[in-house]
Amino acid sequence: MFCLIPPGKLKSSESDNRLTRDAVASGLMLGLSMVDHLIFTDNGYYSYQDEGLI
């Protein structure tokens, strides 16, 4: 899963966090695991896995 956000913002929003929690929960119900949720910016990326959130 990935999201594109405005340039310069290298942090997840509450809506990103909610989307990730819902996607992880939905996947678990189906027997699937989410590997990562990446947010790309002009300055780099934010990885939920790198932050220990997945």
Q: How far apart are CA 24 and CA 19, in angstroms?
A: 9
Question: Rounded mean pLDDT of 11-16?
Answer: 85
Q: Residue 18 domain-assigned?
A: yes
Average predicted confidence (pLDDT) for the chain: 84
Residue 11: CA count within 13 A, CB half-sphere = 3
Q: Is residue 12 part of a domain?
A: yes
Supply the range of the domain harboring residue 20.
Answer: 2-47
Q: How many folded domains does the chain comprise?
A: 1
Reported pTM: 0.70
In a domain, 54, yes or no: no
Q: What is the pLDDT of residues 18-40, one digit of tens each?
A: 999 999 999 999 999 999 998 88
In-domain check, residue 16: yes
Rounded Cα gap, residues 20 and 42, in angstroms: 22
pLDDT computed for residue 24 by the predictor: 93
- Contact assessment for residue 4 and residue 40, using Cβ atoms and an 8 Å cutoff: yes
